[in-house]
């Protein structure tokens, strides 16, 4: 059965009755209008699937009805078939010029009317389906484009906020970032500073400095990432890295040693960066509690990691100059390591770093034993390693 609504428009009641008797047995629901004005009012109420429209009517003819329907945004797409006694070419062209879908002249064959009605409705349905598909495809394209833009922006965002830190301060996604989002965690902090940076900068163009700094930081970032850490800050000639995953203290020591090895490899080509001598760095490492979060204002914020552990690691890096040790780690780091005997350590001093009251035993990290088995018995006396 059909579920289409057909509006019949004719000023002759008998014609309306004949059309009703023809269409309703086919399952069509019909509405009748005996004037142009009534046709427009009825069309606004029921929005028919199709209009069978007579042309010759008093006051408002079918051509004017068609013109007004095509000017109405809500009704302009309703199919219109003219049924008229006007068989001249001029009338036919006028009807088609007003965007009538078909033009049938009286007397009309019943089978032809039914065929025209069925075909017109079917074609309209096909166009509507095609339009809906096109709309869905267009919407999907827009969604995909928006998704690609979002992914691209997220990738760019990750260049400024490491994934590990982002997962801590915004576990529900970037959109959940708010000022003051913070979480406390046990971490190991690592500070790395380039020796003699001021003197280097004075002897070369700023563009050269940018080039080798980016090359240097790129290599160090890879080492830190490979060992489960992330760089929280680049500070001109220094970087601050944080290790927050299980075995973070051991990961930090391993990273520091790898950074020294990476520096050795970098220095093999230092002359290509217009450097007058190989680079040297100092690395300080400390373990403690830190707060990871967002800081700033409601208009400008930054992600950061703060806490005494960060300040102490920075102070230990400064002491590498005093003790002439490339890598210094506090006793807090050593105590956190399950197998400190896996590393070559040398006790240096017990001291309260600048601005601190707490004293720490400081150890120079000389290397690691490559053949050490992690499940080997613990060495109870760390001094046996010195």
CA distance 21 to 16: 9
Rounded to 10 deg, the angle between the 248-267 and 206-226 helix axes is: 140
How far the first Cα of the chain sits from its last, in Å, is: 95
pLDDT value, residue 135: 77
The boundaries of every CATH 3.40.50.2300 domain in the chain are 5-131
Tens digit of pLDDT for each residue in 253-267?
Answer: 999 999 999 999 999
19-39 core/surface letters (b: 16 or more CB in 10 A; e: else): bbebbeeeebebbbbbbbebb
pTM for the full model?
Answer: 0.58
pLDDT value, residue 69: 93
pLDDT value, residue 140: 76
Q: Which CATH number fits domain 5-131: 3.40.50.920, 3.40.50.450, 3.40.50.2300, 3.30.365.10?
A: 3.40.50.2300
pLDDT value, residue 303: 74
The boundaries of every CATH 3.30.70.1230 domain in the chain are 163-385
pLDDT value, residue 328: 97
- pLDDT, mean of each 10-residue run, the chain (386 residues): 80 91 91 93 92 92 93 92 88 89 86 90 84 77 62 56 64 64 88 93 90 94 94 90 93 96 94 91 96 78 84 95 95 92 92 90 87 41 38
CATH of domain 163-385: 3.30.70.1230
- Beta strands 182-194; 281-296: pairing state: antiparallel
pLDDT value, residue 189: 96
Residue 72 burial (CB count, 10 A) = 13
pLDDT value, residue 107: 83
pLDDT value, residue 374: 43
Instruction: Indicate if the alpha-carbon torsion angle 301, 303, 307, 310 is positive or negative.
Output: negative
Alpha-carbon separation of residue 14 from 10, 33, 273 (angstroms): 9, 12, 98
Q: Which of 201, 185, 225 is nearest to 306 (CA)?
A: 185
pLDDT value, residue 48: 93
């Amino acid at each position: 059965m059909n579920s289409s609504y057909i509006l019949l428009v004719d000023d002759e009641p008998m014609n309306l009755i004949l059309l009703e008797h023809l269409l309703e047995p086919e399952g069509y629901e019909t509405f009748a209008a005996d004037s142009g004005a009534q046709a427009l009012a009825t069309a606004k109420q029921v929005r028919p699937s199709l209009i069978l429209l007579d042309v010759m009517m008093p006051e408002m003819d079918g051509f004017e009805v068609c013109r007004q329907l095509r000017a109405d945004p809500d009704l302009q797409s309703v199919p219109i078939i003219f049924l008229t006694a006007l068989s001249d070419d001029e009338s036919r062209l006028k009807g088609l010029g007003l965007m009538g879908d078909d033009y049938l002249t009286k007397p009309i064959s019943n089978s032809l009317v039914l065929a025209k009605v069925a075909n017109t409705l079917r074609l309209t349905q096909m166009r509507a389906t095609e339009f809906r598909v096109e709309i869905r495809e267009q919407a999907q394209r827009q969604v995909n484009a928006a998704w690609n833009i979002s992914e691209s922006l997220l990738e760019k965002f990750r260049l400024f906020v490491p994934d590990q830190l982002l997962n801590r301060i915004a576990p529900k996604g970037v959109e959940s970032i708010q000022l003051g989002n913070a979480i406390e965690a046990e971490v190991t902090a690592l500070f790395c500073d380039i020796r003699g940076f001021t003197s280097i900068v004075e002897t070369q163009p700023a563009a050269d400095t940018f080039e080798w700094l980016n090359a240097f930081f790129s290599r160090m970032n890879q080492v830190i990432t490979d060992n489960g850490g992330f760089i929280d800050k680049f500070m001109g000639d220094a970087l601050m890295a944080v290790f927050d995953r299980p075995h973070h203290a051991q990961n930090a020591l391993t990273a520091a040693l790898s950074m020294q090895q990476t520096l050795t490899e970098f220095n093999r080509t230092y002359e290509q960066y217009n450097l007058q001598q190989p680079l040297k760095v100092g690395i300080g490492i400390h373990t403690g509690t830190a707060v990871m979060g967002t800081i700033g204002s409601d208009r400008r914020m930054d992600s950061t990691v703060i806490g005494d552990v960060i300040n102490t690691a920075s102070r230990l890096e400064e002491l590498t100059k005093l003790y002439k040790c490339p890598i210094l780690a506090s006793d807090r780091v050593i105590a956190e390591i399950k197998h400190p005997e896996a590393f070559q350590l040398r006790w240096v001093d017990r001291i309260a770093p600048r601005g601190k009251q707490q004293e720490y035993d400081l150890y120079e990290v000389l290397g690691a034993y490559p053949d050490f088995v992690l499940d080997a018995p613990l060495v109870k006396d760390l001094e046996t390693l010195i």
